[in-house]
């Protein structure tokens, strides 16, 4: 096995999106640093030299439509120094049309409305507005969107205040799966909206771990005169999808027809049982059972909850209520 392949085998895996992002950054940088060494380029992009060579080999067959010799990027690195040509079109900065600027602004405002105190969103919005002023000729101000900012929840104002000041909060929180109210001290990490539901994510001193709390189940909240910084090493969950499992989350088994079998690929799961011709059984760990109820109801008769029993009953009750609203019965 060659040295390049041995290094590649040890290299941490990366997604196609991550590599594409590096390549798009690499092209303009290499054009501005003609003759840079492979070692220096590797250091600049935080990869090994073999990865730089693999990226150059890929760039060598990239270009603009037509993909003939005149359209492909010309990359030379045989001497250990990199020379890139014929890539000016790819390296040219993007210029926004008015429609693009408005679309990006609206999207970022919608994203910002789902995360309390997101500095990244606001900084990006300012950059979009500045770019629009330069390329479109006029700034893009705030767009009036009808968004749920969580203000209808009685606890939201107190939680925002505690979060902004870095204070711990005391919650009286209703646990639906056990039908009981609990008392908890929580260090807030994030306040965010996921799947049209507002949550507080924080380090719970009762559970000794990171937990998600639905705002509509917070019965009472008070701000404590205690520093609300989570313990060192504690990290927020990956909430691109709240079905990402946590150690103490509820285990749920869903039986899905072949039309709903996509959930086994879409959601992180603990295991899948595939019958020869029958339905698929998917085991998930979830932070909030309500997410499963909404998923199963959305899928109609193509999926049903098998375990735990209390969630089976909850889905059945909600389905009956929905049918009753339309004047139907089961």
Q: What is the pLDDT of residues 75-97, one digit of tens each?
A: 899 999 999 888 776 665 556 66
Residues in CB range of 254: below 8 A, 6 or more apart: 263, 281, 282, 284, 292, 295, 296, 303, 304, 305, 306
Work out the mean pLDDT of the chain and round it to a whole number: 75
| Domain chopping of the chain, boundaries | 3-91, 98-135, 156-227, 250-325
pLDDT at 73 over 80: yes
Compute CA distances 268 → 159, 241, 323, whole Å: 30, 9, 31
| Section 99-123 average pLDDT | 59
| 156: nearest Cα among 200, 122, 187 | 200
pLDDT at 52: 93
CATH number for the domain whose boundaries are 156-227: 2.30.30.530
Looking at domain 250-325, which of 2.30.30, 3.30.70, 3.40.91, 1.10.10 is its CATH number? 3.30.70
The residue with greater pLDDT, 54 or 136, is 54
Judged against a pLDDT cut of 80, whether residue 120 lies above it is answered with no
CA distances in angstroms from 317 to 63, 90, 310, 312, listed in the order given = 57, 56, 11, 9
Beta bridge partners of 180: 175
Q: CATH number for the 3-91 domain, one of 2.40.50, 1.10.10, 2.60.120, 3.40.1360?
A: 1.10.10
> Percent of the chain beyond pLDDT 90?
16
Looking at residue 67, its pLDDT comes to 59
Percentage of the chain exceeding pLDDT 70:
65
Indicate yes or no: pTM above 0.75.
Answer: no
pLDDT value of position 81 = 95
Helix or strand or coil: residue 52?
Answer: helix
Q: Dihedral (C-alpha) 199, 200, 201, 204: value to the nearest 10 degrees?
A: -130
Question: What pLDDT was estimated at residue 68?
Answer: 64
Does residue 219 have a cis bond before it (omega within 30 degrees)?
no
């Amino acid at each position: 096995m060659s040295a390049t392949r041995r290094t590649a085998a040890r290299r941490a895996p990366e997604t196609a999106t991550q590599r594409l992002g590096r390549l798009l950054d690499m092209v303009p940088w290499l054009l501005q640093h003609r003759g840079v060494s492979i070692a220096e380029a590797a250091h600049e992009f935080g990869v090994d030299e073999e990865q730089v060579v693999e990226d150059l080999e890929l760039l060598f067959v990239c270009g603009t439509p037509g993909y003939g010799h005149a359209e492909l990027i010309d990359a030379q690195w045989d001497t250990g120094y990199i020379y890139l040509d014929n890539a000016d079109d790819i390296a040219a900065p993007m210029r926004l049309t008015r429609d693009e600027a408005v679309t990006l602004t609206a999207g970022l405002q919608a994203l910002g409305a789902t995360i309390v105190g997101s500095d990244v969103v606001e900084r990006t919005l300012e950059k979009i507005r500045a770019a629009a002023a330069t390329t479109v000729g006029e700034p893009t101000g705030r767009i009036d969107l009808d968004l749920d900012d969580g203000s209808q929840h009685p606890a939201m104002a107190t939680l925002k205040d505690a979060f902004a000041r870095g204070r711990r909060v005391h919650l009286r929180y209703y646990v639906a799966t056990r039908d009981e109210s609990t008392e908890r001290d929580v260090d807030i990490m994030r306040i965010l909206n996921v799947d049209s539901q507002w949550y507080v994510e924080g380090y719970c001193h009762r559970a000794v771990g990171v937990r998600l709390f639905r705002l509509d189940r917070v019965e009472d909240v008070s701000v404590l005169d205690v520093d609300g910084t989570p313990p060192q090493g504690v990290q927020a969950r990956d909430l691109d999808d709240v079905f990402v499992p946590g150690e103490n989350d509820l285990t749920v088994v869903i039986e899905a027809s072949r039309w709903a079998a996509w959930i086994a690929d879409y959601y992180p799961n603990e295991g899948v049982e595939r019958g020869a011709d029958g339905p698929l059984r998917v085991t998930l760990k979830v932070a909030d059972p309500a997410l499963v109820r909404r998923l199963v109801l959305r899928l109609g008769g193509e999926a049903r909850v098998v375990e735990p029993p209390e969630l089976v009953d909850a889905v059945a009750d909600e389905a009956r209520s929905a049918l009753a609203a339309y004047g139907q019965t089961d």
